[in-house]
Amino acid sequence: MNHSQINRRQVLSGMAAAAATAAASPVFGQQPITLRLHQMLPPQATIPARALAPWAQKVEAESGGRIKVQLFHAMQLGGAPVQLFDQARDGVVDFTWTVLGYTPGRFPKTEVFELPFITARAEASSRAIHAYVEKFAADEFASVKLLAVHTHGPGLFHTKQPVTGLESLRGMKIRGGSRIINNMLTKLGATPVGMPVPAVTEALSKGVIDGTTIPWEVTPALKVAELVKNHTTFAGRDGLYTQTFAFSMNKASYEKLPADLKKVIDANSGIETAAMFGRAMDEGDVVGRQIAERAGNNIVALDGAETQRWRRTAGTVETDWIKEVGSKGINGAQLASEARALIARYS
């Protein structure tokens, strides 16, 4: 075989390889756009497993493979949970999912959904909060492309010693996930200990806290039903509290996409996406409770009269919040009324 034949064969094999690569690409000659999604929980937790992964698969499928979403769990890309919103804002990553309460005072209008005994099931309250933010608090998310804002289901206590009434909570060191929830814990007589949810497992096992406020859905990922044997629920539709979450995209990452791929992102944003996240939370609540029941844990159900005492005691949290946001020129009483109306509408 002479030199020119070798060269020709190399060129032809190179062209064949290039053609094969192009054929494997979503559109001839076009590389998929890889977007990175960063969040704080292990991959088996409810939202990563039942919302973020299915969302990523749906976006990839609807883009014909032209968008590839890489999921990074448990802060794999660095930083702390409190920095996640800014990681999306600043373009450190393309998407983040995070708890809004981790940055106290930054989302004052959205905080209304954290007030005690305001919400119940997550799917309904996630529709409500997304509609509320679009109407009353869009300015708080102007620095990102907001894909969805949602809540978890009814918040409750998970403690080493049983909480059977207000008196038994007094003096207990309880983890709270936001400023509003910590204020509520103080009013109820507990000693609040603020920390992001991934820190709960170690804090419980080392005795830093006596218990935690979280919904059922996140208890399996944190092994809470193994670390504490008591769980306290409340009478009536509403949980003790909820927390609020944002699924955000970097604005520049969105703007760089071609128009048809922007449409794919838009189709997977908004109130139905918020509802999907809420639905995952509701399904996770069922699983988390079942695990505690199978472990033979003690589930305390406070009756209507005792729950009413908690409602009265915790009610001053709303008064405090209204006064505080009022100093920023925000009509808190009106916003609380609007939030309740939307929760009622979607429930």
Instruction: State yes or no: pLDDT of 251 exceeds 80.
Output: yes
- Report yes or no: 335 and 124 within 8 Å, Cβ to Cβ: no
- Kindly report which listed range (24-28, 65-69, 91-95, 178-182) carries the lowest average pLDDT score: 24-28
Instruction: State yes or no: pLDDT of 25 exceeds 70.
Output: no
The SS3 of residue 92 is coil
The C-alpha atoms of residue 345 and residue 196 are separated, in whole angstroms, by: 31
**What is the model's pLDDT at position 296?**
98
- Report yes or no: 161 and 210 within 8 Å, Cβ to Cβ: yes
Helix H or strand E segment including 41: none
pLDDT-derived band at 28 (thresholds 50, 70, 90) equals low
Q: Find the Cα–Cα–Cα–Cα dihedral 277, 283, 289, 290, rounded to 10°.
A: -150
pLDDT, one tens digit per residue, over 139-164 is 999 999 999 999 999 999 999 999 99
The CATH class that applies to domain 33-152+242-283 reads alpha beta
Instruction: State yes or no: pLDDT of 336 exceeds 50.
Output: yes
CATH topology of domain 156-241+292-346: D-Maltodextrin-Binding Protein; domain 2 (3.40.190)
Over pLDDT 70: what percentage of the chain?
92
pLDDT, one tens digit per residue, over 295-334 is 999 999 999 999 999 999 999 999 999 999 999 999 999 9
CB environment 248-272: b (16+ within 10 A), e (fewer) = bbbeebbeebeeebeebbeebbebe
- Report yes or no: 181 and 243 within 8 Å, Cβ to Cβ: yes
- 3-state percent helix, strand, coil for the chain, nearest multiple of 5: 55, 15, 30
Over pLDDT 90: what percentage of the chain?
91
CATH 3.40.190.170: which residues of the chain?
A: 33-152+242-283, 156-241+292-346
**For residue 65, is it left (φ>0), alpha (ψ between -120 and 50) or beta?**
left
